[in-house]
Amino acid sequence: MSSLYHNTFKDMMNDVVAAGSCCECGSCVLVCPHNVIEYIDGKPKQTAKESAAFDYCGISEGVGCDVCASVCPRLWPREQHLRDTQFGNDRGYEGVFGVYRHIFVARTRRDDILQRAQDGGIVTALLAWAREAGEIDGAVVSAVGENDNPCFPTPKVMTEVEEIKSSASSWYTYCPNNLALAEAEEKDLKQVAFVGVPCQITPLSKMTYVDPSILLAAKKKPQIVSRQRGFMKSYAERLSFNIGLFCTEVFRPELMTERIEQQMGIPLTEVSKFNVKGEVLIYKKDGDIARIPLEEAMHEYQRPECKHCGDFSAELADIACGGVGTDQATIVVLRTQRGEDIWRKFEAAGLVDVWPIQENKKAWNILQRLAQRQHDRVPVTTPRNGTTPDLPQYSPFEEHQFSLAQIAHTAKSAEDIEAALVAAYAGGPRPLEVIGYMAGQPIPGDPGEPPPGEKRKLPPPPRPDQGGAPPGWTPAA
């Protein structure tokens, strides 16, 4: 157990970056308090000391730090190990696609958004309404701007409603949205909505829930602890809510530049949006739709890093959204109280149509299958990577106890340890021991795991009174 705690910079650079599982979210670069690493060619690179090895951080091996490794989504704890800490007793149901309070299908009523939207336009409509209503002062999204290459989005902070509307649709090339949180901090935004794929949502949860006692070290003064704590926690503390996008994989740039532009002869400047519905759909500005078989796109152009991701449905998001199995509509999964609260206000504004998940059995079944398939595809490597079976749930209290035990064997005085703890927790409360969380209710009607060799039977969609509809839903008269 204790060996899983305190992942280091060296662990991250060897077990993740060099091993080929780095998802390129950039979160480690974002939270580095000492400018040791930079985001270069999609990966973190040690640039503080040119003559040093790629896995050497003088701060990590000197006074101690490792904030970067603490937020990495490819090190333990991963999504399934954070459920108890993030949701605790505050969960309704849980199943193969994670914890949820409500699941249903929705579509925006705003035609200006729906025409450009990926599926039901829910993410863009929710963000635009939240900005109009003053619920947020900005949103982190990926979008293709005037200075970007066609079909290649970059991370952006948008503070105007029209900007947010213009960000509708997905492009299926990777965009490190987490890096835009630095701009949100520079602008001193206090209530930010964040939109990202699952491997970008997980670092936000780790920033929030990984215990800051990891910062304790024998040689470290409280002011250094305070600085590191600020980088570890401050970005997530600015978030009002986050929206996770369903994702099986994204594609290498060559899908755009080689397959579409060169082989198919479609200028990227003429592409209006993409979608994946059993095949890659390329929407052209002249109204035509070109197609690429999905099997071909996945085999030839899938990013290899995506094979290390077991989270299809953004299991740690406040709200998760995706268009699998729907026609111009979005599956919406409300996972947290924060997500439910913002949705209730949004729906009350009268800008959205909603349907129980029972009316969309096809979408429900596809969600189940894709979530299970993605769980099963992750290569088993090491416990430190969080990929071996039967790893424990993450416990902030046990992290705290482990840190105290480690520093107790040093020459640091009790007074100095207490000063460091005050800095690490910013004067706030410290974790308490939790005897055990009450498990969430299983998916209603779930037949459970089948005997060996038999195919798993899918549970039926939950009824509205079992979380299968929006909060407060009543059938139309």
- 190 shares a domain with 287: yes
- 214 shares a domain with 183: no
Write down the pLDDT at residue 163. 94
Q: What is the crossing angle of helices 222-237 and 198-209, to 10°?
A: 140
Scan for tokens 């690179």, then name that residue.
45
How large a percentage of the chain has pLDDT more than 90? 83
Render pLDDT for 160-181 as a digit per residue (tens, 0 to 9): 999 999 888 788 899 999 999 9
- 108 shares a domain with 34: no
Which of 364, 380, 396 finishes a domain?
A: 380
Which of 320, 347, 380 finishes a domain?
A: 380
Residue 33 lies in a domain: yes
Render pLDDT for 380-422 as a digit per residue (tens, 0 to 9): 999 999 999 999 999 999 999 999 999 998 999 999 999 999 9
Residue ranges of the alpha helices (H) in 319-360?
A: 337-348
For residues 278-289, give the mean pLDDT.
91
Residue 118 reports pLDDT greater than 90: no
Neighbouring residues of 302: CB distance < 8 A, sequence distance ≥ 6: 249, 251, 252
- 160 shares a domain with 96: yes
Domain hosting 23: range is 2-81+209-235+382-424
- 245 shares a domain with 159: yes
Q: H/E element holding 334?
A: strand 330-334
Q: Rg for the chain (alpha carbons), in Å?
A: 22
Number of domains making up the chain: 2
- 166 shares a domain with 42: no
CATH for 48 = 3.30.70.20
Expressed in angstroms, the distance from the first to the final Cα of the chain is: 56
Give me the sheet containing 271-276, strands edge to edge. 271-276, 279-284, 289-293
- 148 shares a domain with 104: yes
Residue 393 lies in a domain: yes
- 225 shares a domain with 177: no
- 395 shares a domain with 365: no
Residues 97 and 313: beta-carbon distance below 8 Å:
yes
Q: Based on DSSP, count helices (H) and strands (E) in the chain, helices before strands.
A: 16, 16
User: pLDDT category, 447, cuts 50, 70, 90?
Assistant: confident
Prediction pTM value: 0.95
Write down the pLDDT at residue 477. 52
Average pLDDT, the chain: 94
- 129 shares a domain with 12: no
Residue 1 reports pLDDT greater than 50: no
Tell me how long the chain is: 477
Render pLDDT for 189-210 as a digit per residue (tens, 0 to 9): 999 999 999 999 999 999 999 9
Residue 440 lies in a domain: no
Write down the pLDDT at residue 476. 66
- 175 shares a domain with 96: yes
Write down the pLDDT at residue 198. 98
Residue 458 lies in a domain: no
- 376 shares a domain with 258: yes
